[in-house]
């Protein structure tokens, strides 16, 4: 009995010492942890990340690869015979209707005179293409400032024997470059942007990058809504996106750089104002409804009194495994005509009158497979004196499959039936295109 009693007594005497020792060690560890965290904060005042993707594709467009045909002999649209005799610069169709990648590049621009840059220039040939090596730079400066840049490295062929310079060759496309300030406000979430930022118009800009886009190609109206203007922007979000308002003051419109109504630096004094108001209703993951508009001096001309405007409405519903997105737009660029009697219309500044829409439905069939379908339509008249007239009235139907293999690999393939409407005769311009997108 004596030995256990001695042992118990020894333990009782030793326990407080042991507890003190543990307490000291915990305190020391806590001090070291605090010191390590402080050092970590000192060496990481700017936390950044580099990401991006490689977008490799294969495509074929029927016909001659372009989405336009000249009205030779003014046979279909004789009303333009007095402006452009012979009709070789009266174009029927849409030069951006045969796009083959997320960048919105057509397989070929054919004889186009408004859209001259022909970066793919494949005609009707089936071709592999490295659509883009995309790089995204992101840096958080503290908790409230973000710097974001996105650019594409686009390898394209350059015909060194071509004297007309339309073959640019490999190029760098800076798509986004802005600083965003997110001040801490209790009542709502505010962001203020300066630089080259995302469009305010519509919602398709959100899926402009290849991994984000459900399908491969942009809609027919993306040229009006997906461009990234330069200037200042503010966005306020109230109550878990129940109400969101965007307001921007920029040099020019949100038209795509591919489209000839866009200027990064301004050539007129007036600035363009654009805005979007949206609400998100608690249906499924959320039913988002928005209206947007833009008004300002027409791009690429010097007068402040020549205006262009744009109005649109959009819808996005995610419910269960379904994703429905739709937009409708309408707009006009006034252009300007030489007052001299007999001068062709829109000879001083080009005129554009357009409307269009699309609807896209995707169904996440499994974790890795998403079939999708899109219908889009565009009706537009774009003319510039005796230089060109484009008469566009077309509808496209696209069906495709999206496969996601793990977290980094996406394979997409789609077929688009391209149908000219109204008086425009049918011609071959259907599109098959596919991509392998690997994110890093």
Which positions touch another protein (CB under 8 A)?
Answer: 44, 47-49, 138, 140, 143-144, 146, 148, 182, 184-189, 191, 198, 206-207, 212, 235, 237, 240-241, 284-286, 318, 320-321, 364, 366-367, 407
Return the bridge partners of 409, or none: 405, 438
Residues 398 and 416: beta-carbon distance below 8 Å: yes
| Residue 196: CB minimum distance to another protein, A | 13
| Residue 145: CB minimum distance to another protein, A | 8
Q: How far apart are CA 74 and CA 233, in angstroms?
A: 46
Nearest CB to another protein, comparing residues 2 and 49:
49
How distant, in Å, are the alpha carbons of 100, 163, 183, 210, 399 from that of 431? 7, 30, 46, 18, 11
Q: How far apart are CA 161 and CA 159, in angstroms?
A: 5
Nearest CB to another protein, comparing residues 13 and 187:
187
Nearest CB to another protein, comparing residues 206 and 419:
206
| Residue 202: CB minimum distance to another protein, A | 13
Nearest CB to another protein, comparing residues 189 and 289:
189
How distant, in Å, are the alpha carbons of 137, 195, 215, 434 from that of 199? 19, 12, 20, 26
> Which of helix, strand or coil describes residue 31?
helix
Nearest CB to another protein, comparing residues 19 and 47:
47
Q: How far apart are CA 202 and CA 204, in angstroms?
A: 6
Nearest CB to another protein, comparing residues 265 and 367:
367
Q: How far apart are CA 24 and CA 112, in angstroms?
A: 80
| Residue 330: CB minimum distance to another protein, A | 25
| Residue 186: CB minimum distance to another protein, A | 6
| Residue 297: CB minimum distance to another protein, A | 28
Nearest CB to another protein, comparing residues 158 and 182:
182
- Residue listed under structure tokens 């249906």: 283
Nearest CB to another protein, comparing residues 407 and 426:
407
For 218, the token pair is 């942009």
Residues 335 and 353: beta-carbon distance below 8 Å: no
User: Which helix or strand (DSSP H or E) is residue 117 part of?
Assistant: none
| Residue 203: CB minimum distance to another protein, A | 9
| Residue 367: CB minimum distance to another protein, A | 5
Return the bridge partners of 90, or none: 389
| Residue 359: CB minimum distance to another protein, A | 19
| Residue 135: CB minimum distance to another protein, A | 14
Q: How far apart are CA 388 and CA 163, in angstroms?
A: 22
E-state strands within 225-285: 230-238, 243-250, 272-281
> Which of helix, strand or coil describes residue 352?
strand
Q: How far apart are CA 370 and CA 432, in angstroms?
A: 18
Q: How far apart are CA 321 and CA 372, in angstroms?
A: 12
| Residue 22: CB minimum distance to another protein, A | 17
Nearest CB to another protein, comparing residues 179 and 381:
179
Determine the length of the chain.
440
Give the strand pairing for 409-420 and 145-154: unpaired
Euclidean distance between the first and the last CA atom of the chain, given in angstroms as a whole number: 71
- In sequence order, the 6+-apart residues with CB closer than 8 A to the CB of 22 are none
For 317, the token pair is 């519903």
Q: How far apart are CA 296 and CA 250, in angstroms?
A: 9
Nearest CB to another protein, comparing residues 204 and 334:
204
Nearest CB to another protein, comparing residues 378 and 402:
402
């Amino acid at each position: 009995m004596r030995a256990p009693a001695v042992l118990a007594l020894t333990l009782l005497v030793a326990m407080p010492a042991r507890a003190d020792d543990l307490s000291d060690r915990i305190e020391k560890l806590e001090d070291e942890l605090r010191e390590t965290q402080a050092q970590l904060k000192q060496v990481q005042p700017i936390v950044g990340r580099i990401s991006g993707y490689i977008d490799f594709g294969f495509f074929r467009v029927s016909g001659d690869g372009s989405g336009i045909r000249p009205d030779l002999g003014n046979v279909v649209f004789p009303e333009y015979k007095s402006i452009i005799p012979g009709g070789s610069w009266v174009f029927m169709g849409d030069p951006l209707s045969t796009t083959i990648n997320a960048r919105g590049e057509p397989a070929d621009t054919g004889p186009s005179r408004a859209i001259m840059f022909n970066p793919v220039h494949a005609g009707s040939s089936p071709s592999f293409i490295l659509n883009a090596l995309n790089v995204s730079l992101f840096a958080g400066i503290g908790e409230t400032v973000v710097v974001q840049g996105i650019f594409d490295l686009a390898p394209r062929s350059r015909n060194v024997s071509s004297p007309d310079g339309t073959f640019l060759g490999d190029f760098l496309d800076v798509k986004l470059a802005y600083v965003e300030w997110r001040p801490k406000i209790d009542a709502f979430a505010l962001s203020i942007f300066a630089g080259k930022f995302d469009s305010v118009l519509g919602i398709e800009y959100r899926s402009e990058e290849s991994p984000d886009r459900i399908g491969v190609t942009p809609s027919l109206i993306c040229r009006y809504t997906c461009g990234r203007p330069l200037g200042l922007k503010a966005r306020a979000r109230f109550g878990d996106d129940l109400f969101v308002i965007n307001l921007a003051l920029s040099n020019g419109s949100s038209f795509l750089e591919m489209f000839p109504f866009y200027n990064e630096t301004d050539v007129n004094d007036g600035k363009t104002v654009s805005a979007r108001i949206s609400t998100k209703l608690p249906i499924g993951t959320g039913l988002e409804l928005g209206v947007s508009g833009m008004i300002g001096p027409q791009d690429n001309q010097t007068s402040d009194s020549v205006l262009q405007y744009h109005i649109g409405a959009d819808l996005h519903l995610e419910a269960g495994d379904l994703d429905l997105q739709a937009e409708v737009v309408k707009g006009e660029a006034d252009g300007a005509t030489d007052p001299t009697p007999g001068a062709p219309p829109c000879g001083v500044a080009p005129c554009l009158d357009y409307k269009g829409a699309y609807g896209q439905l995707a169904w996440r069939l499994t974790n890795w497979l998403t079939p999708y379908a899109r219908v889009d339509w565009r009706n537009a008249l774009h003319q510039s004196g005796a230089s060109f007239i484009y008469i566009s009235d077309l509808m496209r139907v696209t069906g495709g499959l999206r496969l996601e293999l793990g977290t980094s690999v996406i394979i997409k393939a789609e077929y688009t039936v391209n149908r000219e409407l109204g008086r425009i005769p049918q011609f071959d311009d259907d599109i098959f295109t596919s991509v392998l997108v690997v994110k890093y």
